[in-house]
Amino acid sequence: MLIVIENVLTSDEVALFRQRLATAAWKDGASTAGTRSIAVKQNLQLPRTDPEAQDLGQKILRKLGSHPEFVSASLAEKIWPPVFNCYRDGGHYGTHSDAALMRLPEAGLTLRSDLSATLFLSDPEDYDGGELLAETPFGAQAVKLPAGDMVLYPSSSLHQVTPVTRGERVCAITWLQSAVADNHLRALLYDLDCSIRALSPGRAKDDPDIDRLIHVYHNLVRQWAQV
């Protein structure tokens, strides 16, 4: 299941990010690829230790923590520090899968990758190609979103970034460990929470039907969560 989270960053915030990233010290992204994916990865990245990347990454994490749609869709328990990448001049990332376990020794963090996330920082009209193609049970789905929007997709899926043939595609990517590891169960919880949020406006704060739905939601989370 692919879920689009709109307006993670405002247009003004995107402009500030792009301004700061324009002078960033980009490095060859192949240095962070695995033994197999290095053969299909051609992009630029900012190192984890880059001060600019760390500061901008923290800004993204603060935004995600207060974004109701993201919280509902991900039920994130742990989040990998965002990584900034840039694709241009034919840059691409061929079909690959993300590592199941990701370790960040300097932070004492080990994360099981349940969800992958791409936050777009370039508008679609600014570049050709660069679609995120994620395989789903219904075939490959192409994603190319407005700047400031994010897509969540299962880390277990095969996916790729198609070659950028014009312009520049700048994104932030991250990986999440969810409190509910099962993609199907998490999707059911997301649908239920979306319905609760859609039905709640205009109803009394103590509406018994809404309260019962919330009761069911939290009991399902309690049953399925792994924390």
Which pTM value belongs to this model? 0.92
pLDDT interval class at 33 (50, 70, 90)? low
Q: What is the DSSP string of 30-58?
A: GGG--TTGGGTEE-EE--TT-HHHHHHHH
pLDDT interval class at 34 (50, 70, 90)? low
DSSP state of 105: G
Binding residues: 96, 98, 159, 169
**Which CATH class, in words, describes the domain spanning 3-178?**
mainly beta
Report the alpha-carbon distance of residue 3 to residue 221 in Å, rounded. Answer: 19
What are the domain boundaries of the chain? 3-178, 183-224
Q: What is the mean pLDDT of residues 95-114?
A: 92
Kind and range of the H or E run holding 209: helix 208-224
Collapse the DSSP code of 110 into the 3-class scheme (helix H, G, I; strand E, B; otherwise coil) and give the result. Answer: strand
Q: What is the mean pLDDT of residues 54-68?
A: 96
pLDDT interval class at 107 (50, 70, 90)? confident
> Can you say how many angstroms the Cα of residue 61 is from the centroid of all Cα atoms in its chain?
11
Q: What is the DSSP string of 118-176?
A: EEE-S-GGGEEE--EEEEETTEEEEE---TT-EEEEETTS-EEE--EEEEEEEEEEEEE
Binding residues for 2-oxoglutarate: 169
Binding residues for Fe cation: 96, 98, 159
- What pLDDT, in 10s, does the model give residues 158-177? 999 999 999 999 999 999 99
